[in-house]
Amino acid sequence: MARTRLIVDTDPGMDDAVALLTAFGSPDETDVRMITTVGGNVPVSLCTANALRLCELANRRDVKVHEGCPKALLQPSNAVFHIHGNSGLGNASLPEPTLAAARGHAVPAIIEAIRNSTEKVTIAGLAPLTNIALALTMAPDISENIQAIVAMGGSFHGGNITPYATYNFHSDPHAVHIVLNCGAPVVMMSLEVARQLRPDPAWLANLAGADRPAGQFVSELWRGSPLCFNDASVILYILDPALFQCEDIRVEIEMNDVVRLGQIRRIQGEHNVRFASAVDREGAFRRIDAALRYSRSADSDARPDVSLLSRSERDGLP
Ligand SMILES: [Ca+2]
């Protein structure tokens, strides 16, 4: 099976960290080519620093991290330090990154990466969808070279930031509207799926003894935390869609009503989303466990694939 070419758009974020490390730890299935950050759980500069920290932890210094939008299209910023901690990575201690972010804003970087790719690209949307919506607005042609946009968000049974909406969708409902109507396949990982991904203390304790940096880090990060591995569901779907119960439906998102802002509604018509409502929990944790026990050797940094680099970057290669 061909490896999935992947752009991860993220706001790390504790569950983003698990998602990124799961992707990095599954190199036979995923080819993480670029990370883009967006303001969400914490301000974008912290998200970028955390993404760089996670690349270093996973020994993926070859992955470019482009910083993106600091705020949503129309909504005010809504950082949730009380959930993800002052750094965005809870109480876990990772050193300051030695890597620097790549030059250039995330949105043109996404456009260029997708246009230049010789194979279709999958986007993992782990955050408010602002960067992705702007890329699709600036360059609608890229939708033809997108395999799928797999996004964390949506619920028909209550929200986690309001009684009606999930955090990512509530943070930028207009971006969700753009993505839903972009023409590329869209997959939603619902809150119902996310709530099935709360790790057992015994599983975390076992992971702590794994003698692998990613596993030890996640075990430390989740010590005493009631949170679920929400964003990891996106990566799990990309790794193995058979883990999920899905239905092809048409949805729209509330963009006007202040109380119900970001709520999705099922409507009649041709489907515009594959909606995941349940996951094989045991299979999911087996996958995450294997990925967090993966360790990349220090000398295995791959030469970057020139198909995802800009012309100037290609020209600058040795
Ligand atoms: Ca996130």
**Which is nearest to 232 in space by CA: 14, 4, 64?**
14
Question: Token match 């869609």: residue?
Answer: 241
**Which is nearest to 47 in space by CA: 85, 94, 88, 75?**
88
Residue 220 is predicted with a pLDDT of 92
Residue 301 is predicted with a pLDDT of 45
Residue 237 is predicted with a pLDDT of 98
Q: Measure 232 CA to ligand 1 centroid, in angstroms.
A: 9
Task: State phi, psi for 202 to the nearest 5 degrees.
Answer: -65, -40
Q: Are 107 and 82 in contact (CB under 8 A)?
A: no
Mean pLDDT for 289-300 is 76
Q: Measure 188 CA to ligand 1 centroid, in angstroms.
A: 14
| Token pair for 3 | 């490896």
Distances (CA, A) of 136 to 17, 133, 175: 26, 5, 10
Residue 297 is predicted with a pLDDT of 60
Q: Measure 141 CA to ligand 1 centroid, in angstroms.
A: 26
Q: Measure 16 CA to ligand 1 centroid, in angstroms.
A: 5
89-116 tens-digit pLDDT: 887 878 899 999 999 999 999 999 999 9
- pTM for the model stands at 0.92
Characterize the bridge pairing of strands 264-267 and 244-253: antiparallel
Dist. CA 45–CA 182, nearest whole Å: 28
Dist. CA 66–CA 15, nearest whole Å: 19
Q: Measure 38 CA to ligand 1 centroid, in angstroms.
A: 9
DSSP state of 162: S
Buried b (16+ CB within 10 A) or exposed e, 257-279: eeebbbbbeeeeeeebbbbbbeb
Q: Measure 226 CA to ligand 1 centroid, in angstroms.
A: 16
40-54 tens-digit pLDDT: 989 999 999 999 999
199-228 tens-digit pLDDT: 999 999 999 888 889 999 999 999 889 999
Q: Which of 1-5, 95-99, 147-151, 259-263 has the lowest mean pLDDT?
A: 1-5
Q: Measure 318 CA to ligand 1 centroid, in angstroms.
A: 36
Q: Is 121 helix (H, G, I), strand (E, B) or coil?
A: strand
pLDDT score of 286 more than 80: yes
Distances (CA, A) of 242 to 2, 27, 31, 53, 158: 17, 19, 20, 31, 25
| Amino acid present at 100 | A
The domains located in the chain, with CATH, are 8-159+167-246+253-310 (3.90.245.10)
